[in-house]
Structure 1
């Protein structure tokens, strides 16, 4: 394996690790927002409900971007493999 190929493989693995860490953070945020949502529902706090909804929308957007990034990296790696052959 050439140095360039090794560096490329390390780069893609690093990006995948970073995306997985972001997904774990999002799971934690969902748990935190879930707790806030329970408290907001019990106290009927409209500001907290808006905060929870905005947070969930942001998490959904982040997950969509992470999925899009996964797809792009997969396609890019397949194209590079075909060009090397």
Structure 2
């Protein structure tokens, strides 16, 4: 399989699949994964409300002045 370029802009579907696969990858690597994350993964697979919840989370992330959960880790001084 050839290396596919990663776009900076994803569709909602692509971003959702990325979250699913990242969670799936983490669970596969951990010998004793956190039960809450296992339940979250099951929720992503099976709960009919997941898409509306996903859209609400994306809207929240796009709000002006929304907290960026990455800032603490990306910009902390060593």
TM class by shorter-chain length? 0.3 to 0.5
Greater fraction helix: 1
Q: TM-score when scaled to structure 1?
A: 0.35
Taking structure 2 as the reference length, the TM-score comes to 0.38
**RCO (CA 8 Å, sep 6+): is it higher in 1 or 2?**
1
